[in-house]
Structure 1
């Protein structure tokens, strides 16, 4: 069974086997969590992302999929990059958001990772409503068939923490 914990803090400081990067499809860095991971982790992450782009992901990583690289200078061993969907009021993209969590855990299992830190995927510039994102994330992690023993949701601010905490309590 996977233990789910919540932390108010900085995902780049998490001492877990893997941290999940809310990446953009280019895999070449960006803003928010993506930019922070690339800045703190250093050029080794970007070098591996460039290699992935040159080989398997020439058109970028599709939303809902996941791939791993080194964690560079981060305390974690690996970064699992996943691309969340942009929120839409005219199209239900919930399955794609849930896939980010399932696919990240699948990659974690392939790596042998037992502890994984997730951000609130798609809730920044991709504008996913926080309460809905928390529900989808928690449901996807709870339903995943994984060997990961701890999933840590690392929330950047108190509002995100409170929203995830409320969603977690609804299911307990």
Structure 2
């Protein structure tokens, strides 16, 4: 049975097999979680990302974790919120699904997700949390994952995820 846990911490310090990066489509770093992961992983992460040719919204690509405590970084490109009329819900759910598929394919038993698309992409936080938890619950039933962490940036996000997981 997969444990689903909400925590409030710096995702770059979580000791898991894979962490998910809320990446942009270039995969070449950015602000927020993306920038923090690139800084913590070291320059080798950017060098590997430069070989991947970017990534489409709703998809994910895997790299090594380099100087992070995680073995892998899964770069998921979430949608920018445009009022919900441009498949944003489906694209966000796909980020979680694709990330779990890549993790499983590489033997990961633990994974940590940030709150994808809720920062500069302005996805409504309540809706994003609902999608994240529902998608992960549906996907982990048979994928052999031991633990999935939802890593929250602030106390408000933590309470939101804890209530959904209760």
| TM-score, L = length of structure 2 | 0.95
User: What does residue 27 of structure 1 align with?
Assistant: 27
Deviation readout 1:15-74 (Å, 9 max, x if unpaired): 000000000000000000000000011011111100112xxxxxx201111111011100
1:149 aligns with 2:146: yes
User: What does residue 66 of structure 1 align with?
Assistant: 60
Decide which of 115, 118, 127 is 1:120's aligned counterpart: 115
1:8 aligns with 2:8: yes
Deviates most, 156-165 or 74-83: 156-165
Deviation readout 1:116-142 (Å, 9 max, x if unpaired): 000000000000111111100000000
User: What does residue 111 of structure 1 align with?
Assistant: 106
Rounded to whole Å, the distance in 2 between the matches of 1:61 and 1:152 is 23
SS at match of 1:52: coil
Rounded to whole Å, the distance in 2 between the matches of 1:69 and 1:43 is 13
CA contact (8 A) 2:5 2:165 kept: no
Distance apart, 1:90 and its partner CA:
5.0
Residue segments in structure 2 that go unaligned for 5+ positions in a row: none
**Aligned pairs, number:** 163
| TM-score, L = length of structure 1 | 0.92
SS at match of 1:19: strand
Rounded to whole Å, the distance in 2 between the matches of 1:89 and 1:131 is 14
SS at match of 2:150: strand
Residue segments in structure 1 that go unaligned for 5+ positions in a row: 54-59
| Alignment RMSD (CA, Å) | 1.0
